Structure 1
Amino acid sequence: MSLVNMKEMLEHAREGRYAVGHFNVFNIEMLRGAVKAGEKYNSPIILAFAEVFEKLVSIEEFAPAMIAAAETADIPVAVHLDHSKSFEYIKRAVDAGFTSVMIDASDQTFEENVRRTKEVVRFCAPKNVTVEAELGHVAGLEGYEDGYEESADDYTDVREAVQFIRETGADALAVAIGTVHGVYRREPKLNLERLKELRREVPVPLVMHGGSGLSDGDFENAVQNGIAKINIFTDLNIAAKKCLKENCMEEESQYLGYLDLCAKVAEAVCTEVEKKIILFGSAGKR
């Protein structure tokens, strides 16, 4: 139990047709809420940190808290670097004790994506650090602009995915099947046929980014058709903000100390993580 990398937990999820939740955290409230939910439901979880969080706290400052939480948990917990674009930042994460990293060169050519991913795998494999890569285009906020149209080119190509894993040796692959990072402004349409093909042909666990905001049915379909890891961040933010708003607007909030307010936020995050654990089918899979 406790601190692990992602390899074994995701292989078990792939075989068992459930998904492990990846939860981005940047403060103690989010960290505590995620771990508490995992322990309550005996579920493996992935705690993740992204470079964008550096505006609040550096990876070297926050890593000890993440690692301590993982080491003292009675469930398997991976500490993962999400969406890194640079080898230098990945090295910082590994040096800080992270057990898993993601190199995201999906905006580069196929050849450059392969080159950068191979470089990271060569560095991480001897250190028993797992590597996730991405192939295809999962839109960010640019996907909400007027005139944006989803293209077949955005989806992960099956033959390219097979070649990519063969050449890089990556442990997991984030795929584009119609999800979008952030808050959805129109109903997403998942390409489940493409996902089925990827599950059948690609020999490593598949990852879905842009999961926040999908319907329960979308999540269930994605998991049943091959997704073994699902990234969640926006839904945690929404839960935390809603908790803050509700508790700060009530008349009696003037008597609520900041410590108590933080504790309420941790509970709100915990509740949201619990929902995802149940939905992804990872409860009891410790």
Structure 2
Amino acid sequence: MPLVSTAELVSAAVAGGRGVAAFNVITLEHAEAIAAGAEQAGAPAILQISENAVRFHGGRLAPIAAAAAAVARVSGAPLALHLDHVVSVGLLHEAGDAGFGSVMFDASKLPYEENVRATADAVRWGRERGIWIEAELGKVGGKEGEAPLDAHAPGVRTDPAEAAAYVAATGVDALAVAVGSSHAMTERTAALDHELIGRLRDAVPVPLVLHGSSGVPDAEIRAAVASGMVKINVGTALNTAFSGAVRDFLAADGRSVDPRKYLAPGRDAMAATVAGFLGLLVPAVS
């Protein structure tokens, strides 16, 4: 199936009153698992490659992007390609040639006015090339290299009035907000502020994005989508499933040296995790 755009998938989710999930790609097995899980669930999904993943691949975007796009094109599920948590303007400018229809440009560590200027520049660049731009406002902790952050600390969560001003000033196509989740959580214990999600939904004219969804329980994700979240980002949950399956295989067969033997169960575990998350994003039937 041809690649679809993130904008198309997000627009369809908004129209259908549901969410769409974006899953982090680190290796070819991640991309294959996301495609398989989406096919199992009969749902679309977004394959997203972060700047950290690009760094893992020697700073070269093209090979992993080409691999993910190739997986998407032979999948029976509608899949989009998204470049995530981009800090480097140079990497942002590689997105179009590498086949990405969307980028999350992350200037959230900058002071507010600098964040606005940098993000507005990214949006102008994206508009000229038909690339959809997501940004972040607030502090979603847990990113690699950051000190631990209490998702419930004062000043961490996104303020609706500031979000409205930020979207107006930058022109972003979607906004990632801080509402109680955190990146890199390995236990699903996050409690979201659903009243705040509703206020943010009413304050801004663009879709809301939930980062750090791996640590959010099923019921909380369903409630978040009902409250107004649209794009649901999942990364660590795939790595947890993958690593657990690989550990189990090697514990049972410690002499195996063929990586295909343990990569296969790891990939299958990720696919099951993808299908499980996708099943949370459709409206409940009353």
Q: Normalising by structure 1, what TM-score?
A: 0.91
2: CA distance between counterparts of 1:275 and 1:241?
17
Contact (CA 8 Å) 2:83, 2:100: kept in 1 or not? Answer: yes
State the distance in 1 between where 2:141 and 2:98 align.
30
SS of the aligned residue for 1:3 comes to coil
Identity of aligned residues (%): 35
Instruction: Say if 1:180 and 1:255 are closer, same or farther in 2 by CA, change over 3 A.
Output: closer
The code of the aligned residue for 1:5 comes to S
**Contact persistence 1:137–1:154 (CA under 8 A):** yes
CA contact (8 A) 2:190 2:217 kept: no
The unaligned stretches of length 5 or more in structure 2 are none
Match of 2:262 in 1: 261
Given candidates 206, 210, 213, the residue that maps to 1:204 is 206
Q: How does 1:61-140 map to 2 (within 5 A)?
A: 61-140=63-142
Q: State whether structure 2 residue 250 is matched by structure 1 residue 227.
A: no
Q: Which residue of 2 aligns with 1:38?
A: 38
Partner amino acid, structure 2, of 1:11: S
Structure 1: distance between partners of 2:152 and 2:89: 30
Count of residue correspondences: 280
Contact 1:136–1:156 (CA under 8 A) maintained in structure 2? yes
Letter in 2 for 1:117: T
Residues 172 and 73 (structure 1), Cα distance of their counterparts in 2 relative to 1, 3 Å cut: same
The equivalent of 2:276 in structure 1 is: 275
Residue 280 of structure 1 aligns to a residue whose secondary structure is coil
Match of 1:217 in 2: 219
| Residue identity matched to 1:234 | T
Please give the alpha-carbon distance, in whole angstroms, between the structure 2 residues aligned to 1:77 and 1:47.
Answer: 7
1:162 to 164, 178, 182: 164
Give the number of the structure with larger relative contact order, counting CA–CA contacts within 8 Å between residues 6 or more apart: 1
3-state SS of paired residue (1:73): coil
**One-letter amino acid of the counterpart of residue 260, structure 1:** K
**Counterpart residue type for residue 163 of structure 2:** A
User: 2-side partners of 1:144 and 1:266: how far apart?
Assistant: 29
- How far the C-alpha of 1:281 sits from its partner, in A, is 2.0
Of 185-194 and 220-229, deviating more is: 185-194
Deviations 1:77-129 (A, max 9, x none): 11111101121111122221211101111122222111111111111122221
**Are the aligned partners of 2:157 and 2:177 in contact in 1 as well (CA < 8 Å)?**
yes
Quote the RMSD (CA, aligned, Å): 2.2
1 or 2, which has the higher helix percentage? Answer: 1
CA distance in 1, matches of 2:64, 2:108: 27
Kept after mapping to 1: 8 A contact 2:241/2:269: yes
Cα offsets for 1:2-29 (capped at 9, x unmatched): 3122112112212322211111011111
| Structure 2 CA distance for partners of 1:129 and 1:250, relative to 1, 3 Å | same
Say if 2:86 and 2:92, in contact at 8 Å, map to a contact too.
yes
Compute the displacement of 1:257 (Å): 3.3
Per the normalisation by structure 2, the TM-score is: 0.91
Residue 235 of structure 1 and its aligned partner are, at CA, apart by 0.4
Q: SS at the partner of 1:193? A: helix
Over 3 Å counting, the alpha-carbon distance change for 1:186 and 1:152 in structure 2 is: farther
Distance (Å, rounded) in 2 between the aligned partners of 1:149 and 1:281: 27
Q: Relative to structure 2, which stretch is displaced further, 179-188 or 200-209?
A: 179-188
Query: 2:271 and 2:212 mapped to 1: Cα distance?
Result: 20
Task: Give the deviation of 1:256 after TM superposition.
Answer: 7.4
What SS does the corresponding residue of 1:254 show, helix, strand or coil? coil
